[in-house]
Amino acid sequence: MNNSELQIQAQKILDNIAFMPFEQCQPLTRGFESIPARPGIYAIRHRTDGLLYIGKTKSLRGRFSGGHKAFLWAWLDKYNDEDVRIAVELIAHWGNPTLLLELEAIILRATEPPYNVQIPAEM
């Protein structure tokens, strides 16, 4: 995949996770049963403050059922748990970890979410 195709794919993913209506995002639950155990890129979003954290994972459900630092930070920032949700974008081609790293890096550089501590430099 060339650089412009990568940019286009990253923009589509970002549009999907950033502009999905908040009500369609996954609510926080104890077991995260409604989140698929599939590879994907996700965003932890606040109802009015927008993107808080963006990441990628081999198993979306597994990533959250084991805990996530963004939830702790949201709690410390005194966000109401009903105002924090998860937007997910399933990724079919998890077999290429370099591609996912590049997609995630492009999205992070474009958005700079406050709970992502380190934003990757451009490659």
Please tell me whether the overall predicted TM-score, pTM, comes out greater than 0.75 for this model: yes
**Average pLDDT taken over every residue of the chain:** 90
| DSSP code per residue over 38-72 | S-EEEEEEETTTEEEEEEEES-HHHHHHT--HHHH
- 87 touches 40 (CB < 8 A): no
- Say if residue 60 is exposed, middle or buried (CB neighbours under 10 Å; 0-12, 13-18, 19+): buried
Q: What is the DSSP letter of 120?
A: P
pLDDT band at 123 (very low <50, low <70, confident <90, very high): low
Instruction: Please give the domain boundaries of the chain with CATH numbers for all domains.
Output: 3-111 (3.40.1440)
* 83-97 residue pLDDT tens: 999 999 998 766 677
Q: How many CB atoms lie within 10 A of CB 88?
A: 23
Tokens of residue 94, six digits: 């998890």
Furthest CA-CA distance within the chain: 42
Q: Which pLDDT score, from 0 to 100, does residue 98 have?
A: 81
